[in-house]
Amino acid sequence: MKALAEKFPTQYSPQGKMINLSKYLIIDTCYSPDCHYPIHVDCLPRISIVLSGKLKETVKHQEEYASAASIVYKPKGVEHSNRFGPQGARLISLAFLDDTLLRESKNTIDGNWEWFHGFRYAPLAYQFLYQLWLEQSIDSVEESAFDLIANLELSNASTIPSSLPPWLARVEKRIKDEFSCNIRLKDLAFEAGIHPVYLARVFRQYYGQSVKGYLQDLRIRHALDILSGSQTSIVQVALDSGFADQSHLNRVFKSRIGLSPGQYKKLVQGLSV
């Protein structure tokens, strides 16, 4: 974003580096480890992409836990608080100085605070960031933003029961604790004392994806964090994240993110200039 900062008004504030593109602000914010922001409001509606780290955002009694590749749409005036993880977090936001675009788009996100945690929208988000990095033209950046806005949709409320079965909570905890290890569905089912098919069905009911998909998402998020903050080789990133080899990481990473690990690493390094 260095060239953008040289061409357009740039200022630094507690919110981070802000580049004024006339109708939009690009806000690049790094949050300190374990910091807490009490209830506050944003003056401008925005779409924010979590580039690295973890955070919890609370609106009224609803809590959302976000990590790398999570996306949020936040209207102006929404009262919320944030708590950041032990590694802090970095977010890049597109804030709308003129919200006519949102009103005229008739998009379902307009007026609703909404987090998007799956990798369905990640390629769109990273294409937008990639255009910021390439800095080919403001039109390219804007078109990528249009695509992202046009394709974000409110998630449909699921009809699953509100309480998580204790055995399923234990299964999820083991997956989160041991995501870099070789975890097999039948081993999880044996430990939970249930049939593998039943585990697969109930897991998908509660989490909206298979155990394998959930496990791969954890591994990809771990890889995103490493690639965002270190010079670790991609081969080592693959092994540390639980992938069989670099080829396996490349294949899954590209399918989830829309970029290769190498492209993503260059993107993050370029945005940090």
Indicate the pLDDT class of residue 101, thresholds 50, 70 and 90.
low
pLDDT band for 273, please (50, 70, 90 cuts): low
Tokens representing 168? 């399923």
pLDDT of residue 20: 87
**Residue 157, pLDDT score:** 41
For residue 5, name the pLDDT band (cuts at 50, 70, 90): low
- How confident is the model at residue 12, as a pLDDT? 73
Question: What are 43-67's pLDDT values in tens digits?
Answer: 999 999 999 999 999 999 999 999 9
pLDDT tens digits for range 214-226: 999 999 999 999 9
Q: Look at residue 105 and tell me whether its pLDDT is greater than 50.
A: yes
Ramachandran class of 135: left when φ > 0, alpha when ψ lies in -120 to 50, beta otherwise:
left
- What residues contact residue 133 under an 8 Å CB cut-off, 6+ apart? 1, 266, 267, 270, 271
Cβ pair 196, 189 in contact under 8 A: yes
- Check residues 30 and 146 and name the one with the higher pLDDT: 30
Helix (H, G, I), strand (E, B) or coil at 6: helix
263-271's contacts with Cβ under 8 Å and 24+ in sequence apart are 263/130, 264/126, 264/224, 264/227, 265/227, 265/234, 266/133, 267/126, 267/129, 267/130, 267/133, 268/51, 268/52, 268/227, 268/228, 270/1, 270/133, 271/1, 271/28, 271/51, 271/92, 271/129, 271/132, 271/133
Question: Mean pLDDT in the chain?
Answer: 86
- Is pLDDT larger for residue 215 or for residue 201? 215
pLDDT, residue 54, reads: 96
Residue 13 has pLDDT above 70, yes or no: no
Dist. CA 25–CA 98, nearest whole Å: 10
* pLDDT above 90 for 6: no
pLDDT at 156: 42
70 phi and psi angles, rounded to 5 deg = -70, 150
pTM (2 decimals)?
0.74
For residue 85, the model assigns a pLDDT of 97
Chain mean position to CA 129: 12
pLDDT band at 155 (very low <50, low <70, confident <90, very high): very low
Are residues 20 and 8 in contact, defined by beta-carbon separation less than 8 angstroms?
Answer: yes
Q: Please, which pLDDT band fits residue 247 given cuts at 50, 70 and 90?
A: very high
Please list the residues that pair with 29 across neighbouring strands: 91
Percent of all residues in the chain with a pLDDT value above 90, rounded to a whole number: 52
pLDDT digits (tens, 9 = 90+) for 129-154: 887 887 656 777 776 777 787 777 64
121-122-123 Cα angle (round to 5): 95
Predicted local distance difference test score (pLDDT) of residue 2: 65
Residues with Cβ within 8 Å of residue 220, at least 6 apart in sequence: 69, 119, 241, 252, 253, 256, 257
Residue 174 has pLDDT above 90, yes or no: yes
Of 81, 28, 89, 11, which Cα lies nearest the Cα of 54? 89
Q: Does residue 141 or residue 200 have the better pLDDT?
A: 200
DSSP code for 126 = H
Angle at 240 between CA 235 and CA 32, to 5 degrees: 110
pLDDT-derived band of residue 16, with 50, 70 and 90 as boundaries?
Answer: confident
The domains located in the chain, with CATH, are: 2-151 (2.60.120.10), 166-271 (1.10.10.60)
Is the pLDDT assigned to residue 104 strictly greater than 60?
no
Model confidence at 128: pLDDT above 50: yes
Find out whether 129 and 92 touch, Cβ atoms under 8 Å: yes
